[in-house]
Copies of this chain bind each other. A is one copy, B any other.
Amino acid sequence: MRIVDTFARVREERRGVVALVPTMGYLHEGHTACVAAARRRADMVVMSVFVNPLQFDRPDDLARYPRDLDRDVAIAADAGADVFFAPSADEVYSTESLTRVQVTVVSAGMEGAHRPGHFDGVATVVAKLFAGTQPHLACFGRKDAQQLALVRRMAADLSFPVEIVDVPTVREEDGLALSSRNVFLADRAAALGLSRGLFAAAAAAAEGERSATALETVVAIEVAERGGDLAYVTLADTATAQPIPSLDRPAFLAVAARVGEVRLIDNVFLYPDGSADLGTRLDHQSVLYEGRER
């Protein structure tokens, strides 16, 4: 695995079909699942690690976002990445960037409503990664379902010749969706309210429930009963991330809640035929917990 820190060096390494796996580092099996998906489709897999200041609405959240580049390098190499691209903030924003990429509609609700400017930051940095590394495909996790919809729309609207590959959410054995933020979790039982609520809603959908309100209520109750502080729970169109009143098209049921000091998001993908993508489960503890108490 080559370690590079400029866009120019990434382009020099290009050969064959190039896949990009953009991350903010502090890697876990959700990221390595993206590398594996990329590996199956591409000759060369570029993993980028960059904690993008533009997409943080709160400075304290940016400051405490977990970082460990040596650990990331080891995990990326082990996962089979060919190029590890860790640009400095200078390489990414050498002068003050005056350019913003905005995607309306898709960015309006849920995370966009709760984190002002977040999706402008995401769209801008992903456009920049696509422009600077020129991949043929790019892998994003379904865990960030609204981000996935936004990136798909941005790539299509700007005619980037980049196929967007989505990868199911990876979960701990107990169902908790992997997130770099999980290392800060104190109240595990409360955190499980999100996934348990979503699984219960998916079970209700499998039994015929189609009402968004009914499905959302199942999640809201489970989160509240376990002590989480719900921010939103929304059934949304997978393509537009717009709320929908009933499960009459491919959708994701997304939830955000605060559990102690940690803000968590999770979702399941639901389909009108009653089927669902709940993500995949690890049969072992995540690398997030190596060398630390869970």
Interchain CB contact under 8 A, A161 and B99: no
Pick from A92, A132, A160 the residue with the most CB of B within 10 Å: A160
Report A153-177 CB contacts with B as 1/0, cut-off 8 Å: 1101111110000000000000000
Q: Does A114 contact B (CB under 8 A)?
A: no
Task: Work out how many copies of this chain go into the complex.
Answer: 2
CB distance from A105 to the nearest CB of B (A): 5
Q: Give the segment of A30-38, A123-131, A253-261, A262-270 that binds chain B.
A: A123-131
Interchain CB contact under 8 A, A156 and B95: yes
CB distance from A117 to the nearest CB of B (A): 13
Interchain CB contact under 8 A, A128 and B98: no
Q: Does A134 contact B (CB under 8 A)?
A: yes
Interchain CB contact under 8 A, A99 and B103: yes
A106 to B157, CA, bound (A): 23
CB distance from A202 to the nearest CB of B (A): 29
Chain B residue at smallest Cβ distance from A102? B100
Report A235-268 CB contacts with B as 1/0, cut-off 8 Å: 0000000000000000000000000000000000
Interchain CB contact under 8 A, A99 and B98: no
Contact A157/B123 with A131-B130, A134-B134 known, Cβ cut-off 8 Å: no
Chain B residue at smallest Cβ distance from A95? B156
Return chain B residues, CB-CB under 8 Å to A157: 95, 97-99, 128
CB distance from A5 to the nearest CB of B (A): 13
A100 to B120, CA, bound (A): 10
Sample of 7 further A-B pairs with CB below 8 A, known A100-B101, A100-B102: A92-B159, A97-B157, A101-B158, A124-B158, A128-B157, A128-B158, A131-B160
Q: Which residues A86-137 have CB closer than 8 A to chain B?
A: 92, 94-95, 97-106, 123-124, 127-132, 134
Residue contacts A-B, CB under 8 angstroms, 16 given: A8-B161, A11-B161, A95-B157, A98-B153, A99-B101, A100-B101, A101-B101, A101-B102, A124-B158, A127-B158, A128-B158, A129-B159, A131-B159, A131-B160, A131-B161, A132-B160
Pick from A98, A102, A156, A159 the residue with the most CB of B within 10 Å: A159
Chain B residue at smallest Cβ distance from A240? B98
A156 to B131, CA, bound (A): 10
Return chain B residues, CB-CB under 8 Å to A158: 99, 101, 124, 127-128, 131-132
A105 to B99, CA, bound (A): 9
Return chain B residues, CB-CB under 8 Å to A159: 7, 92, 128-129, 131-132
Return chain B residues, CB-CB under 8 Å to A127: 101, 127, 131, 158
Return chain B residues, CB-CB under 8 Å to A102: 99-102
Return chain B residues, CB-CB under 8 Å to A97: 157
